[in-house]
Amino acid sequence: MTTYPPLRRTDAPQPADSPDAERAHRRRMCALGYRVFGALRFGQLGDGHISARDPELTDHFWLLGYGVPFREATVDALVLVSPEGDVVRGTGDINIAAYNIHAPILAARPEAVSAAHTHTPYGTAFSAQARLMEPISQESCLFVFDQALFDDEELEVVSTIGGARIADALGPNKLVILRNHGLLTVGETVEAAVGAFVVAERVSEVHVKAGDAGRPISTEGAKQVAAHYTNQNLEWLVFQWLVRDLVPDPSVVDRSGGLLTRS
C-alpha cells in the first residue's frame, strides 16, 4: 500500500535543484497526468494529449507516444518533440494534432510549462453551446475571470496555423473553450494544467445539468472565491488529490511501457 507524504492546503510546487531534476519531475508528472486521465476514462478513442515543456530545450516538449493507452502511461513512453514536430528523444510516433496544438500554444506562452486537452463527456457538450463559463458553482469561479472562447470550426487542427489561432484566442488565460470540440487548459506546471482541466470538466458538467441557473454567484463573490483559489494553488492541489485517489501506486510510471508505430 502506498504511503503518501502529508498534504497541506498551503503546500505549493517547489523548484528542482537542477535542469535534469526538473526534467525528470516534469516527465513523471506528465505520465501521472495521463494516468489520471485514463482512470477518468478520458482519451479512450485515442483523443487528447498533455504536454510538458523541456526545461533546457524550451522550444521542445514531451508527449505520450502514439498508441499508448493513457492508463498505461510511463515516463519511458514519453517522447520529446522538436519545434518542427520531429521525435528527437524516445521511440515512436506522436499524435499530429497534439503537435499542431501544443507547439504554437507553448511558443506563445513562455511561462506555461504544460497544456492539457482531451474530449470529455461534459466539456465537449458544453463547448457545443459556444459560450463562456458563468459563476454558477463554487469551482466555476476558478475560470470566470480567466477563460476564452475559440469560436471557430477548426476541429481537426491539421496544421500549426490552426494551433496558432487557438493560441491567439487563448491569450493569457488558463482555459480556452474550443467550440464543438472541448476544453484546453494551460499551467505553469504540469500538475496545474491537468488539475485545471479536471476542474473545468466538472464545471462543464454543472453547466450542462443546471442549464440556466436561476441565481448565479455575484461578481464580487466570484472574485473572492477566485482569489482564494489562486492563493491556495488550487489546480496543483487538485492534481495531488487526483493522483492519490486514482493512481494507487505512482511508481508504475517509472516502469517501461510499449509504443505503437502508426503506419
pLDDT, position 5:
75
Q: How far apart are CA 2 and CA 249, in angstroms?
A: 6
The structural domains of the chain, ordered by start, are: 19-251 (3.40.225.10)
Give alpha helix (H) positions in 128-233: 160-170, 190-210, 219-231
Q: Which three cell numbers stand for residue 1?
A: 500500500
Residue 14: band (very low, low, confident or very high) from pLDDT cuts 50, 70, 90: confident
Average pLDDT, the chain: 93
pLDDT, position 3:
66
Main-chain dihedrals φ then ψ at residue 186, nearest 5 degrees:
-125, 160
Q: How many CB atoms lie within 10 A of CB 236?
A: 21
Q: Which three cell numbers stand for residue 54?
A: 523541456
pLDDT, position 11:
80
pLDDT, position 19:
96
Q: Which three cell numbers stand for residue 5?
A: 507524504
The answer to whether 76 and 55 are in contact (CB under 8 A) is: no
Crossing angle for the helix pair 190-210 and 19-39, nearest 10 degrees? 30
DSSP β-ladder status, 182-187 and 114-118:
antiparallel
Q: What percent of the chain has pLDDT over 70?
A: 96
Q: How far apart are CA 73 and CA 200, in angstroms?
A: 22
The answer to whether 102 and 85 are in contact (CB under 8 A) is: no
pLDDT, position 257:
53
Q: What is the pLDDT of residues 39-86, one digit of tens each?
A: 999 999 999 999 999 999 999 999 999 999 999 999 999 999 999 999
Residue with cell 454543472: 206
The answer to whether 27 and 78 are in contact (CB under 8 A) is: yes
Q: Which residue type sits at 168?
A: D
Give alpha helix (H) positions in the chain: 19-39, 96-108, 121-127, 160-170, 190-210, 219-231, 234-246
pLDDT, position 259:
47
Q: How far apart are CA 199 and CA 205, in angstroms?
A: 10
The answer to whether 63 and 71 are in contact (CB under 8 A) is: no
Closest CA to 52 of 233, 193, 160, 167: 193
Q: What percent of the chain has pLDDT over 90?
A: 85
pLDDT, position 2:
66
Mean pLDDT is highest, among 12-16, 215-219, 237-241, 256-260, for 237-241
Q: What is the pTM of this model?
A: 0.94
| pLDDT at position 9 over 80 | no
pLDDT, position 87:
97
Q: What is the pLDDT of residues 145-202, one digit of tens each?
A: 999 999 998 888 999 999 999 999 999 999 999 999 999 999 999 999 999 999 999 9
Q: What is the pLDDT of residues 76-96, one digit of tens each?
A: 999 999 999 999 999 999 999
| pLDDT at position 261 over 60 | no
Q: How far apart are CA 160 and CA 171, in angstroms?
A: 16
| pLDDT at position 242 over 60 | yes
Residue with cell 503537435: 99
